[in-house]
Amino acid sequence: MKELIYLMESKMKVVIAGATGFLGQVVVRQLLAAGDEVVVLTRNVAKAALTLGRSCQFYQWDNYEILPPVEAFDGADGVINLLGESISKKWDESYKKKLLDSRIQSTRNLIAAMETSATKPKVYVSASAIGIYGDRGNEEISEGSETKSDGFLAKLCLEWEAEANKAKARVVTIRTGIVIGRNGGALTKMLPVFKMGLGGKLGSGNQYMSWIHVEDAAGIFIEALKNDTMSGPVNATAPYPARNAEFTKVMGKVLKRPTIFPTPAFALNLVFGEMSQVLLEGQKVFPTKVKKTNFRFRYPTLEMALKETAY
């Protein structure tokens, strides 16, 4: 209730890039429910309007290598950037370049447009990922923990955040964990396998999965946008990270299915290549900054989140 009151009292005009994605749609819905004004930068205005509804304003931005329409930022209080090609494809060198460019160039041009606007937004909230911490085993990680520069995903996040921090505004970089929810996210490909009773742990199963329900991830973006005390990196993960073996066990319990078919590491490497590090490496990440605010998780436990998601 405190969170709802907080959101309702602080109306904002917010520009969002990446609004039609899995997480972006929930961010837009929550902002509109709180009475905020939402401006969407999109490749396809007609398609975005069908997806998000006509309560938003829409401006076409179909090339992240150029500036978005500067007029979209008129009177805006804040900007949320969720743009970036999906990491869930096999990473060859060509796709790595696309992953990098879609994040760095979009950030650079969004910030340039913000600073060109007559009324400059006061806050810039950028997506990032917990991959910035690298593979950390059992170490407990907060926002103050060391970041890593080894591994493609860590380097990608470091460059992405460095570009975001060039904005002349209050900057918050949201280091998101594995996002789960209905109709998208990490469970899209996993659920059918588990529902057939063919699911199992990945690799050793000992790696930590720092997960978060999409409703809570969206809420953290909005908290960062509206809470003037928040700046710098913020972990968007649930309070209780779980090992992959535990995640698998809870999924089987929720679905009432066996989970006896493990996928060995070598098989994941064969199928996904370097991208398999996302599945096999782990981080035990805690949302330390978020827990110091009035934010309340809707789905704090894995069982609660999977029960909402799996049906």
Mean pLDDT of all residues in 21-48: 97
User: Using one digit for the tens of pLDDT, what is the confidence trace for 242-290?
Assistant: 999 999 999 899 999 988 888 887 777 776 777 677 777 889 999 999 9
Domains of the chain: 2-180+211-237+286-297 (3.40.50.720)
Output the CA angle 293-234-124, nearest 5 degrees: 100
Mean pLDDT of all residues in 9-37: 95
* Entry pTM: 0.92
Q: What is the mean pLDDT of the chain?
A: 91
User: Using one digit for the tens of pLDDT, what is the confidence trace for 164-206?
Assistant: 999 999 999 999 999 999 888 878 877 888 888 888 888 899 9
% of the chain exceeding 70 in pLDDT = 95
What is the per-residue pLDDT for 267?
A: 72
> 129, 179 in Cβ contact below 8 A?
no
What is the per-residue pLDDT for 52?
A: 97
What is the per-residue pLDDT for 191?
A: 81
Reported as a pLDDT band with limits 50, 70 and 90, residue 311 is low
Reported as a pLDDT band with limits 50, 70 and 90, residue 5 is very low
Q: Comparing C-alpha atoms, which of 63, 184, 175 is closest to residue 113?
A: 63
What is the per-residue pLDDT for 3?
A: 46
CA dist., res. 76 & res. 259, Å (int): 49
User: Using one digit for the tens of pLDDT, what is the confidence trace for 117-145?
Assistant: 988 999 999 999 999 999 889 999 999 99
> 81, 107 in Cβ contact below 8 A?
yes
232 three-class SS: strand
Mean pLDDT of all residues in 14-31: 97
DSSP 259-295: ----B-HHHHHHHHGGGGHHHH---EE--TTGGGSS-
